[in-house]
Amino acid sequence: MKDFANLIKTLDSTNKTNVKVQALADYFGKASDKDKVWTIAILSHRRPPRPVNTTLLREWAAELSNIPLWLFEESYHIVGDLAETIALVIPAGEESTDKSLTEFLEEMIALKPKPDNEKKNYLFKNWQRLNYYERFVFTKLITGGFRIGVSQKLMTRALAKATEIDEDVLAYKLMGNWDPNSISFQELILEENESDYLSKPYPFYLAYAVEDEVSGLGDPNDWSVEHKWDGIRCQVIIRNDALFVWSRGEELVTDKYPEFQEFVGVVPNGTVLDGELLPYPNGEIGTFNDLQTRIGRKTVSKNLLLKTPVVLKAYDLLEWEGNDIRQKTFIERRTILEKLISTTLNHKVAERSRSNIPILLSERMQFNSWPEVAEERNRAREKRSEGLMLKRLNSAYQVGRKKGDWWKWKVDPLTIDAVLTYAMRGHGRRSNLFTDYTFALWQENEKGGKELVTFAKAYSGLTDKEFREVDTWIKKNTLERFGPVRSVTPHHVFEIAFEGIAFSKRHKSGVATRFPRILRWRKDKKIEEANNLEDLKALIPTPNTRGKESTSKETPVKGS
């Protein structure tokens, strides 16, 4: 544990990538194999389940620190991180421990089913045996919220340096549903395991956002254009008459989308499809809000399957006839994919209803000029997309986010002018500032007047100077306090940007916005000039503006 805590301390104290890579490589070079596996698991978000809830952690930490709970809570809201607060307030004991990271994690797993008094005794004993940073790391592992700014790509780079195994090979090895409790470092990293191949997905290829003029990409005839669909990126794998569905977050979600079992026996074995999982109610693409009714469900009822079915919008093929074809050009892979959908599928489902096979081909377009591409981008919201994907025709399917061959050109966000009504302290370096804001719009009330109705929260978009300015104003204009939240005098107007919008019964406003953030502080506007809730609702696409989703078997090529 001491070595792991020192590693985290080093990683947490620098923004330099090379320093982080070297620190990780040094750690992997000297840690035990078991600790290596657990470190890889922790840094790739495979943490063990949380054994103690945060309410009990706060109460017990306050008790051991001999301070009242209210003072601990106030300290927590100032520090902004529970593990850091606990590490700061609990006095270190005279004892120490040499237990390994693996021993601690195995104890935490065994702790989960035990009664509260045993959990309390375990925490008291270990909190007092660890120094400040060890106690911080220990508590982070207990809470399950271990995030330290190390991407899996960075960790893979360090592993490659320590083991001399190719980064792309390691990225593939770390994909899948492996369990740090039962797998060894030899099996996970050093060996080739045939049995793991059946369900394992490929590392996803990710695009960069277009930042400069799109014309800088050269001849538009060298690019394939398709819509950037607003769903869940996934890979659908069919091998040995078994189906596996993986999300981009490396979560195996096969059971959550039983519709895809229709692929078995229709799509040939040895096929891996890359695409977007989309809601498809009433035979047309729905909103991400529709899809949220399916996300996170442990069981999917028949009514939900009927109300919100899903489809795979396929746009790439990574494996065909059991062969990895990622190094083929994009246009070669697409040609095989199009043949698969237009020939193989339709031939095999001749005696079955086409609607039983939940797959659509993402339309691939080509244009002679960038203004034509821009016109198609302007139609994105009609088609329930976020913008366009630009893919170089001769590009291979790479690993991770790489510049050059795949670009996303999203539509400009929707915007609305809203009033700041509530504020809460931020986290990390902003934990001493009020930077998490709630915004409201006007709505006519029963008495014929107007009232402000909250509709969105946002915590990004302002400069550090602006955040400090707003924070000073909030502290002088607080109306009420609700724990860490303050209601403030309605006075400031902000332009709020968001990617999507839909009706929602879960929100007081009746509307849910997607990815809200602050676009600018409208110091030029009075609160009376802020938008109404009806203005926001008017931005929601109605059925006749969506554009029906084509189920054509062909892939149109425009502008050629």
Tell me if 311 sits within 8 A of 290, measured CB to CB: no
Residues 6+ apart with CB under 8 A from 17: 154
Helix (H, G, I), strand (E, B) or coil at 74: helix
The pTM score is 0.64
pLDDT of 334 reads 96
Characterize the bridge pairing of strands 485-488 and 271-279.
unpaired
Quote the DSSP letter at residue 3: H
Q: Is the alpha carbon torsion for 397, 401, 404, 406 positive or negative? A: positive
Percent of residues in the chain assigned helix, strand, coil, to nearest 5: 40, 25, 35
The conformation of residue 550, written as its DSSP 8-state character, comes to P
User: Tens digit of pLDDT per residue, the chain (560 long)?
Assistant: 889 989 988 888 888 888 999 999 999 999 999 999 999 988 877 778 889 999 999 999 999 999 999 899 888 877 778 898 999 999 877 777 889 999 999 999 999 999 999 999 999 999 998 988 899 999 999 987 766 667 777 888 899 899 888 776 787 778 767 889 889 999 888 887 666 577 888 989 999 999 888 999 999 999 999 999 989 999 999 999 989 898 887 777 888 898 999 999 889 999 999 999 999 998 888 888 788 888 867 678 888 888 889 999 999 999 999 999 999 999 999 999 999 988 777 665 555 554 578 999 999 999 999 999 999 999 888 888 889 999 999 999 998 888 889 999 998 889 999 999 999 988 766 777 899 999 999 998 877 789 999 999 999 999 999 999 999 999 999 999 887 789 999 999 999 999 888 888 778 888 889 889 999 999 999 999 999 999 999 888 765 444 444 333 333 333 33
Q: What is the DSSP string of 254-309?
A: GGG-GGGGGGBTTBPSSEEEEEEEEE-GGGS---HHHHTTTTT-SS--HHHHHHS-
pLDDT at position 428:
65
How many Å apart are CA 207 and CA 138, to the nearest integer? 36
- At 96 the pLDDT is 79
Q: In this predicted structure, what is the pLDDT of residue 135?
A: 92
The pLDDT of residue 194 is: 66
